[in-house]
Amino acid sequence: AQSVTQLGSHVSVSEGALVLLRCNYSSSVPPYLFWYVQYPNQGLQLLLKYTSAATLVKGINGFEAEFKKSETSFHLTKPSAHMSDAAEYFCAVSLHLNAGNMLTFGGGTRLMVKP
C-alpha cells in the first residue's frame, strides 16, 4: 500500500519569500512522485515529477523538489514566491498497474501569497 501526507493544509507566505510545501510518502516499492498544481476552477497541471534519474528535480515556474529516501520526503520549494503562485498543490505517488498508472494523492496544500 502507498500513501501521501502533506503537512499543512494552508500555507501563507509573503511575496518574495521562500515557499516550502511538505510531502511525505509511504510506499512498499521504490516510489515515483509527482507535484501537481491546481489553480482556481481549473484542472490539475503537472509541476514536476521524480523518476529516479536525479534526486533534485526542477519543474515549471521556478519550483523544484528534492527526493530524500532516508526521510521519505519530497518537499516542494521555490526561492521567491510570486502572487501568481497562489493555488492548491498536490503531492502524489504512482503505482504502476497492469497497464496503467494509478496516482495516490495527498490532501493538498493551499498556498496563499501576501503582497
Partner 1 sequence: NAGVTQTPKFRILKIGQSMTLQCTQDMNHNYMYWYRQDPGMGLKLIYYSVGAGITDKGEVPNGYNVSRSTTEDFPLRLELAAPSQTSVYFCASSTRTSGATDTQYFGPGTRLTVL
Chain residues that interact with partner 1, rule: CB under 8 A: 4, 9, 32, 34, 36, 41-46, 49, 51, 90, 92, 94-108
Q: Which three cell numbers stand for residue 4?
A: 501521501
Q: How near is the Cβ of 93 to partner 1 at its closest, in Å?
A: 9
> 83 or 99: whose CB is closer to partner 1?
99
Q: How near is the Cβ of 59 to partner 1 at its closest, in Å?
A: 12
Radius of gyration, alpha carbons of the chain: 14
Grid look-up 484542472 returns: 43
> 32 or 63: whose CB is closer to partner 1?
32
3-class DSSP state of 60: helix
> 70 or 101: whose CB is closer to partner 1?
101
Within 8 A by CB and 6+ apart from 3, the residues are 25, 26, 93, 104
Q: How near is the Cβ of 45 to partner 1 at its closest, in Å?
A: 7
Q: How near is the Cβ of 36 to partner 1 at its closest, in Å?
A: 8
CA distances from 27 to 14, 24, 93 (A): 34, 10, 8
